[in-house]
Amino acid sequence: MAVIDKIDQMNQGYNPYQTQPLVIESKTGWVSLRLREVWEYRELLFFLTWRDIKVRYKQTLLGAAWAILQPLMTVIIFTLFFSRLSGTASDGVPYPLFTYVALVPWFFFANGLAHAATSLVENANLVKKIYFPRLIVPLSGVLAGLPDVLLSSLLLVGMMLMYQVVPPLSSLVWLPLFLLVALITALGVGIWLAALNVNYRDIRYVIPFLIQLWMFASPIPYSSSIVSDAWRSVYGLNPMVGVVEGFRWTLLGVGQPPGIMTLISAGVALVILVTGIAYFRRVEKTFADVV
């Protein structure tokens, strides 16, 4: 008990209200991102993420198998339709494997984006009844997708064994970085949409189209090598291009090693995230009144 008390005291060591009061007043103008506050509420972030993970597949017949089934079904559909049309589009790698490697980060991105975008409205009861940094809600929506990445990676390992593709071990260290770019992008766009969705419920109907369009604007069913050089720089502004190419390069050894384009992807992702947080902070004070 004494030990726990001690830890508690240490946890509460940072108490901004002890010496000076907490001031609640009308805020005008652009406010700071206040990321430190999110860190202070990390335990709540942990519990909300954990809740999202636990609840996600409750009352589904197949449960967490959906994490594998979603990309698997998509691979089957793509293989049936696209591989016949463009036989050379997979850079010499078996088409199912070529596509599945892209779909692992893609579904993490797409599901995370969709969850984050609707998260504030779905958690309206929390937002209306209790204070916490609202950013935690879309953040937990994206983070809760991480176990799905692990699950769908299991099948990826199986497929690589089956097709006898061995990734160069030295490049594997890049994988978490590419996943991080996907996470930042999903979070950035998700935060923008989540904030907009509170005021404009139209966003809910926009999300499926956005994801669909985005998928075809990313080299998922095809290789980015079919994009002409003239368009490549514009194409690279889509952060998911960098992510998918990065996954293919790391695991299959095809395409370009990380370079300028990867940096641009990461940069764009960060810009989306920072502007998203700024906008979110700007409008969050009205959430409880409107949601």
Partner 1 sequence: MSQSVAVRVSHLGKQYRLGATQASYNTFRDAIIQTATLPVRALGRVLRPSSAPSQRTLFWALQDVSFQVQQGEAIGIIGSNGAGKSTLLKILSRITDPSAGRVEVYGRVGSLLEVGTGFHPELTGRENVYLNGAILGMRRSEIARKFDEIVAFAEVEKFIDTAVKHYSSGMYLRLAFAVAAHLEPEILVVDEVLAVGDSHFQKKCMNKMSDVAHEGRTILFVSHNMQAITSLCSSAIVLNAGQLVFQGTAQEAVALYLQQSQDASQLYTDLRTARRKSNPKAIFESIQITSGQGESRFPKTGEDVQIAVQIRCFEPIRDASVCVVIWDSAGGRVIDANTRMAGQDVTLSQGDVGIWTFCLRDVLLRPAFYRIEAYIGDVYLGGIDYLPNALTFEVQMNPEYPMGTVDYPGSYRCQFEVQYYPAEQAVERSV
Contacting residues toward partner 1, per CB under 8 A: 1, 4, 7-8, 11-12, 15, 17, 21-27, 43-44, 46-48, 50-51, 54-55, 58-59, 125-132, 196, 199-202, 279, 282-283, 285-286, 288-290
- Residue 132 phi, psi (nearest 5): -165, 165
The minimum distance between CB 208 and partner 1, in angstroms, equals 17
Q: Considering the complex, state which of residue 17 and residue 209 has its C-beta at the smaller distance from partner 1.
A: 17
Q: Which is nearer to partner 1, 43 or 229 (CB)?
A: 43
> Shortest Cβ distance from residue 247 to partner 1 (Å)?
33
Give the ranges where 130-237 is alpha helix by DSSP (H). 136-143, 146-162, 174-199, 203-216, 229-235
Nearer to partner 1, 22 or 173 (CB): 22
- Residue whose CB is less far from partner 1, 19 or 170: 19
| Rounded CA separation 71/158 (Å) | 14
What is the spatial distance between Cα 89 and Cα 93, in angstroms, rounded to a whole number?
A: 9
C-beta of 4 vs 85, nearer to partner 1: 4
| CA distance to 105, 121, 145, 220, 226, per residue, from 243 (Å) | 7, 29, 16, 11, 17
Instruction: Write the single-letter amino acid at 133.
Output: P
CA 101 to chain centre: 16
Q: Cβ 279 to partner 1, closest distance in Å?
A: 7
CB of residue 287 to partner 1, shortest distance in Å: 8
Burial (0-12, 13-18, 19+ Cβ within 10 Å), 12:
exposed
Specify the residue, 196 or 273, whose C-beta has the smaller distance to partner 1.
196
Taking the complex as a whole, how short is the minimal distance between the CB of residue 215 and partner 1, in angstroms? 24
Write down the least CB distance from residue 219 to partner 1, Å.
Answer: 31
Q: Which of 138, 132, 116 is nearest to 34 (CA)?
A: 132
The type of residue at 109 is F
Question: By C-beta, is 47 or 216 nearer to partner 1?
Answer: 47
- Smallest separation (angstroms) from partner 1 to the CB of 114: 19
How far apart, in whole angstroms, are the C-alpha atoms of residue 291 and residue 279? Answer: 16
